[in-house]
Amino acid sequence: MVCPSTFSVQASTPQISTFTWRTVTNTAFGPGEDFHYVVKWGVVLAGYSNLSVPELIKSNDRPTYHISSTARSGGVVSAFYKVEDHNEVWLDQQSLLTVRYEKHIREGKFEIEQTSLLDQTNRRWKTRSFRVDKNTYEEKEGDMPPNVMDAFGSLYYVRTLPLLPGQTYTMDIHDGDKVYPLAVDVVKREKIKVPAGKFDCIQVEPHLRGPGIFVSKGKKLQVWLTADSRRIPVRMRCEVFIGHVSAELLPEEGRASAASE
């Protein structure tokens, strides 16, 4: 595991920062939030996933949301393609900007441990990656524009936006050693049914101008968020090489059985 506490980001040249943290009004989420999903490949059970906000902690003396995501394969899919993914992100509470994120990914034979620090004040990033399957280590750093997020954390920022159909929101996303512009289209409002029940939702579609953050280039990702102030993600669906994979919100009583499988 790459420990973020063992390295830091340094400004390329000594300077007096003029950075001002933006302020984002957040009524959508907070500590204690915990959602569980069933993942399907078409109609086939593919596994389970979880999105949670375990705590609010201090990072560089600023209140910070610690947010976690897990995904694991299940059913027959585990027999030929085992998945055990764990992603974590730390978002500044005031600005919802990413200050750190970690990826612990195991998908088939591919396995990587990666930690990135985003120094918003000095506009610098630093990433350490360890390819467990290849036993290779890499460290990179560089400059970045202001107000950069990561892909996972950007979902939580999007949840705070007005999300009026027909609008498009743009933001800069850091992944690995690059920063990509991300556009999020607000498609429509519709009612959908998932295992947790029926919900009035707003459908959004993130679009990348670079490959490999949310989903493979040319493929579509769709997210359905509740149309209330919480903007709960109730369905997420992405195209894959054959068909699509979807994650749908489970009811409270379905969480225990999902955790035990």
| Tens digits of residue pLDDT in 6-20 | 556 555 444 546 789
User: To the nearest whole number, what is the mean pLDDT of the chain?
Assistant: 87
Domain spans in the chain, listed from the N-terminal domain onward: 25-260
What would the two tokens of residue 51 be?
Answer: 């999105």
Mean pLDDT of all residues in 221-240: 93
What does the alpha-carbon distance between residue 228 and residue 145 come to, in Å, rounded to a whole number? 32
Distance CA 128, CA 136 (A): 11
pTM for the full model? 0.88
The secondary element (H helix, E strand) that includes residue 33 is: none
Q: Which of these ranges, 29-33, 191-195, 230-234, 237-241, has the smallest mean pLDDT?
A: 237-241
Q: Is the pLDDT of residue 63 over 60?
A: yes
Q: Where are the beta strands (DSSP E) in the chain?
A: 34-41, 44-59, 62-73, 83-92, 98-107, 110-119, 124-131, 136-143, 148-150, 168-175, 178-194, 197-208, 221-226, 233-239, 244-249
Identify residue 190 by its one-letter amino acid code.
E
pLDDT for residue 245 is more than 70: yes
pLDDT of residue 10: 58
| pLDDT for residue 119 is more than 90 | yes
Report the distance separating Cα 151 and Cα 153, nearest Å. Answer: 6
Q: What mean pLDDT is predicted for residues 147-167?
A: 96
**Bigger pLDDT: 148 vs 79:** 148
